[in-house]
Amino acid sequence: MKLFDSEMKIMEMIWDHEPVTAKELSLIAQDEIGWNKNTTYTVIKKAIEKGYVKREEPDFVCTSLISRAEVSKSETRGLIDRLFGGSKKALFSALLEDEELTAEDLADLRAMIEKR
Protein backbone atom coordinates (compact mmCIF):
# COMPACT_ATOMS: atom_id res chain seq x y z
CA MET A 1 0.00 0.00 0.00
CA LYS A 2 1.55 3.28 -1.12
CA LEU A 3 -0.29 6.56 -0.72
CA PHE A 4 0.95 9.73 -2.31
CA ASP A 5 0.69 12.92 -0.23
CA SER A 6 -2.48 14.01 -2.02
CA GLU A 7 -4.12 10.62 -1.42
CA MET A 8 -3.14 10.77 2.24
CA LYS A 9 -4.79 14.19 2.55
CA ILE A 10 -8.03 12.85 1.05
CA MET A 11 -7.92 9.78 3.29
CA GLU A 12 -7.48 11.97 6.37
CA MET A 13 -10.54 13.99 5.36
CA ILE A 14 -12.57 10.84 4.71
CA TRP A 15 -11.55 9.24 8.02
CA ASP A 16 -12.48 12.43 9.86
CA HIS A 17 -15.89 12.85 8.20
CA GLU A 18 -17.06 9.51 6.78
CA PRO A 19 -19.41 8.76 5.31
CA VAL A 20 -18.91 11.94 3.30
CA THR A 21 -19.96 13.03 -0.17
CA ALA A 22 -17.42 14.04 -2.78
CA LYS A 23 -19.02 17.48 -2.81
CA GLU A 24 -18.47 17.83 0.94
CA LEU A 25 -14.88 16.63 0.50
CA SER A 26 -14.29 19.25 -2.18
CA LEU A 27 -15.52 21.99 0.16
CA ILE A 28 -13.35 20.69 3.02
CA ALA A 29 -10.32 20.42 0.73
CA GLN A 30 -10.89 23.93 -0.57
CA ASP A 31 -11.07 25.33 2.97
CA GLU A 32 -8.23 23.30 4.47
CA ILE A 33 -5.67 23.07 1.65
CA GLY A 34 -6.88 25.29 -1.15
CA TRP A 35 -7.71 22.56 -3.68
CA ASN A 36 -10.26 23.23 -6.39
CA LYS A 37 -13.13 20.82 -7.06
CA ASN A 38 -11.41 19.13 -10.04
CA THR A 39 -8.27 18.37 -8.03
CA THR A 40 -10.31 16.85 -5.22
CA TYR A 41 -12.38 14.69 -7.56
CA THR A 42 -9.24 13.51 -9.39
CA VAL A 43 -7.60 12.42 -6.13
CA ILE A 44 -10.80 10.71 -4.95
CA LYS A 45 -10.98 8.84 -8.27
CA LYS A 46 -7.38 7.62 -7.87
CA ALA A 47 -8.10 6.46 -4.32
CA ILE A 48 -11.15 4.56 -5.58
CA GLU A 49 -9.13 2.94 -8.39
CA LYS A 50 -6.48 1.81 -5.88
CA GLY A 51 -9.15 0.26 -3.64
CA TYR A 52 -8.70 2.69 -0.75
CA VAL A 53 -12.15 4.27 -1.02
CA LYS A 54 -15.63 3.00 -1.85
CA ARG A 55 -18.04 5.18 -3.80
CA GLU A 56 -21.77 4.76 -3.33
CA GLU A 57 -24.71 6.40 -5.00
CA PRO A 58 -26.70 8.50 -4.70
CA ASP A 59 -24.62 11.58 -4.08
CA PHE A 60 -21.15 10.04 -4.59
CA VAL A 61 -20.75 9.04 -0.92
CA CYS A 62 -17.19 8.09 0.00
CA THR A 63 -16.17 5.66 2.74
CA SER A 64 -12.74 4.28 3.49
CA LEU A 65 -11.76 0.71 2.69
CA ILE A 66 -8.47 1.01 4.56
CA SER A 67 -7.91 2.16 8.11
CA ARG A 68 -5.58 4.76 9.55
CA ALA A 69 -3.86 1.98 11.47
CA GLU A 70 -3.22 -0.04 8.28
CA VAL A 71 -1.77 2.99 6.52
CA SER A 72 0.33 3.94 9.52
CA LYS A 73 1.75 0.42 9.79
CA SER A 74 2.48 0.24 6.04
CA GLU A 75 4.09 3.68 5.91
CA THR A 76 6.19 2.92 8.99
CA ARG A 77 7.42 -0.35 7.48
CA GLY A 78 8.30 1.50 4.27
CA LEU A 79 10.20 4.17 6.17
CA ILE A 80 12.15 1.61 8.17
CA ASP A 81 12.99 -0.33 5.00
CA ARG A 82 14.04 2.75 3.01
CA LEU A 83 15.97 4.69 5.62
CA PHE A 84 17.18 2.06 8.07
CA GLY A 85 17.70 -1.06 5.97
CA GLY A 86 14.74 -2.73 7.61
CA SER A 87 16.24 -2.40 11.08
CA LYS A 88 13.86 -1.27 13.80
CA LYS A 89 16.85 -1.07 16.13
CA ALA A 90 18.48 1.49 13.80
CA LEU A 91 15.25 3.51 13.75
CA PHE A 92 15.04 3.58 17.56
CA SER A 93 18.71 4.46 17.79
CA ALA A 94 18.19 7.43 15.46
CA LEU A 95 15.13 8.58 17.40
CA LEU A 96 16.87 8.30 20.75
CA GLU A 97 19.91 10.25 19.54
CA ASP A 98 17.82 13.27 18.55
CA GLU A 99 15.25 13.24 21.31
CA GLU A 100 15.47 14.50 24.88
CA LEU A 101 13.57 11.89 26.87
CA THR A 102 12.38 12.21 30.43
CA ALA A 103 12.69 9.36 32.92
CA GLU A 104 8.94 8.85 32.47
CA ASP A 105 9.32 8.61 28.67
CA LEU A 106 12.07 6.01 29.08
CA ALA A 107 9.98 4.03 31.55
CA ASP A 108 7.01 4.06 29.14
CA LEU A 109 9.21 2.88 26.26
CA ARG A 110 10.74 0.16 28.42
CA ALA A 111 7.25 -1.03 29.42
CA MET A 112 6.14 -1.15 25.77
CA ILE A 113 9.18 -3.21 24.83
CA GLU A 114 8.72 -5.61 27.74
CA LYS A 115 5.06 -6.07 26.81
CA ARG A 116 6.08 -7.45 23.41
93 shares its domain with 56: no
45 shares its domain with 14: yes
Strands (E) across 9-66 are located at 20-21, 53-56, 61-64
User: Residue 8 pLDDT > 90, yes or no?
Assistant: yes
Which is nearest to 8 in space by CA: 45, 34, 42, 43? Answer: 43
- Per-residue DSSP letters for 64-91? ESS-HHHHHHHHHHHHHHHHHTT-HHHH
Q: In total, how many domains does the chain have? A: 2
Q: Has residue 110 been placed in a domain?
A: yes
Tell me how crowded residue 20 is: count the other CB atoms within 10 A of its CB: 20
* Percentage, residues of the chain above pLDDT 70: 100
pLDDT tens string 50-94 = 999 999 999 999 999 999 999 999 999 999 999 999 998 898 888
90 shares its domain with 53: no
CATH number at residue 32: 1.10.10.10
pLDDT at residue 16, as a whole number: 97
User: For the ranges 11-15, 26-30, 93-97, which has the lowest average pLDDT?
Assistant: 93-97
pLDDT at residue 104, as a whole number: 92
Residue 22 belongs to domain spanning: 5-64
The residues with which 20 forms a beta bridge, in sequence order, are 62
58 shares its domain with 93: no
Q: Has residue 72 been placed in a domain?
A: no
pLDDT at residue 98, as a whole number: 72
Q: Which residues contact 27 (CB under 8 A, 6 or more apart)?
A: none
